[in-house]
Structure 1
């Protein structure tokens, strides 16, 4: 029972869990003194017969704040598979009434989360995917695409809005609202306006918007250069049929000799110089 538990929980165990598995406090202390177990914090241990992975580090950090603690922010995003790398400091949320001090390697926030905003994943309490996505997305520009990845997987835009409204007033709430508005249904036209603004500022000429070509109406057309630009909003992939239709249209235009460039709202906001450089390279004739 103990071995199976340790295997499923990355080699991390709490004193309460060890006692539930049949070990006494004295047995736990003996394992620590012998070097078989390493004490990560008070009442949290790591069985030192395996690598101390990022998963073990995140789990140990969260469990060190008690059984009501929750992994949140970028730590939760990594746990859900929305980011590639685990953060150096683990974001932990615990109730306002809870006890616990800040610890090295952990970033503690006190607030009360609604039951809908907490899930258990692989034996660890973490913020649910919708809240995780909007909180992690505002933690620096390089993390903005976390929300996009969440929408590509199991998250629904309405769920993200509901999580945002349940947690108004938290850190990053105004920035999250802007991102959510950008992902709303009307965002596509806003992204088109942003694209045309970028092209005008870069003095790119010879284009038309909402032009018909090859039996389709495209967002931007460079007829002489035979280049088409299509703009995807963050939520474009939430509708599988729209996604499929867009790809079929792109393939048809490519077969007719048109070069098709696709940009997302995130591209236009975060990487405008790259967008402009790509367009200039494509239309150079």
Structure 2
């Protein structure tokens, strides 16, 4: 693999990009050629109950290069951007160069722009929010938000909307107001090499389809079956793309071919949301075309 940009071996590297775009291969190449520890920046890959569907690094990769923050959180544990940022801060204090890789844009913005120190949501309020979402829907939560927060968040993302609602109810201040009091970033872009993998839609869609087929061949259905006793769509750990569709198949609600098609479509839609977010929030990052990395 040849890199189209110069990467300084002593600076941390950030690698963001949509799902299935080749981020892991790039991180492995940099780690093998320059050294470093690969650090997860994907909100789903932190959970231990999804190895296949979350596309966690293979046993061969983790035996070759040190990896951190993969699969270390229980399925029912509470884990937030703040938890992740504190764990990354500890890694950055070590002498080993970090190669931070993932598709969760919020993690990267917290790392490079700072994260507001918002008090945690009380469990009773979280339960109330879950109830409102389940019985009244997203529109009720949106209607309660202050105008500034409403204009700033992704109103199509239920988790982000519920989080904003919880913050406002718990603290009496809108999420936007808390964000405006954000402290300095842990790792500003000027102190690292930020790389953003971009990908042609058709090229990426074909990769997504092939990867899901590979997941099925690797035992994704058995992995989903093992998660059936824990299944709760409201849990952050249960947001694995493809899991709801394979759950529906196991329950006899659709054929495996139908589940495969639905999961592939859901993955494409997720990748589209990622690309939209990256274009809006990562304009200062160094773009790298995914096709050049796999040529």
**TM surpasses 0.5:** no
Q: Which structure's residues are more often strand, by fraction?
A: 1
**TM-score normalised by L of structure 2:** 0.25
Larger radius of gyration: 1
Q: Which structure's residues are more often helix, by fraction?
A: 2
**TM-score normalised by L of structure 1:** 0.26
